Amino acid sequence: MDISKTSRLSLVEQVVSQIESLIQSDTWPVGTRIPPELDLMKQFDVSRNTLREAIRALVHAGLLQTKQGSGTFVCSSSILGAAFYRRIKKADLLETLEVRHALEREAAQLAAIRRSEEDVEKLRNCLGSCQAAVQNKDRQQYAEADIQLHKAIVQAAHNSILSDLYEHMTEALQISVQNLVDLTTDAGFHEDIHSQLVTSIIDKRADQAMDAVNHYISEFKETLHMEE
């Protein structure tokens, strides 16, 4: 059996790979306008056509977005994240909630078993941010704080695959969180449940941590049914 030699990466693929690394390492965070074309041509030592082809590939993949007259901006932290974003935009809120339920329930259980003292401090800080947003009656602040809290719980689970999956879904989940917050009359209606969730994880009570997740997801589902 003949085995063909692997081909070297093309210049375009090399530029795409380098730009992906800049984005994933947060050197170019989401929302950043990337440097001018001439600067990038010098930085990557490539022609204008090569650079433009690489940019087009990343725009198509969903990592970059070109705005007429403004430049090109980073719009996702990963290709997988961009794919999740497109998919969840097409899904209804109930489907998104069901996915969140599965991931966050498992994360809560594992976090209650594996959390470290460093995790505990981070969880308390995130919960404090949620509570501050409720006091300020700031829905946008609350939605952002809510996502950060759940990311901290996933990180406390100390499962790298679960963490990577949830991280890639974060941008898409932000949509569902904001939509759900907008549907409620009280941004903090499940804040007591968040407190119970964090307390259960800190006290290493896995069953109660999962019960807390079941509770707030059920509350969200009831809210959706009332809106139908």
Neighbours of 196 (CB within 10 A): 18
Q: Which two tokens stand for residue 106?
A: 């498992």
In eight-state DSSP terms, residue 77 is S
Confidence (pLDDT) at 189:
46
d(CA 220, CA 184): 9
Q: Which residues contact 174 (CB under 8 A, 6 or more apart)?
A: 143, 144, 147
Mean per-residue pLDDT pooled into runs of 10, the chain (228 residues): 49 90 87 93 93 91 86 81 62 76 95 97 95 85 88 95 80 64 54 90 97 88 67
The alpha-helical segments, DSSP class H, found in 62-159 are 79-90, 93-114, 117-136, 139-156
Domains of the chain, each with CATH number or no CATH = 11-77 (1.10.10.10), 91-227 (1.20.120.530)
Burial class (CB in 10 A: 0-12, 13-18, 19+), 5: exposed
Confidence (pLDDT) at 63:
85
d(CA 81, CA 62): 9
| Residue 205 backbone dihedrals phi, psi, to 5 degrees | -110, 90
Confidence (pLDDT) at 218:
87
**Max CA-CA distance within the chain?**
70
SS3 state at 180 = helix
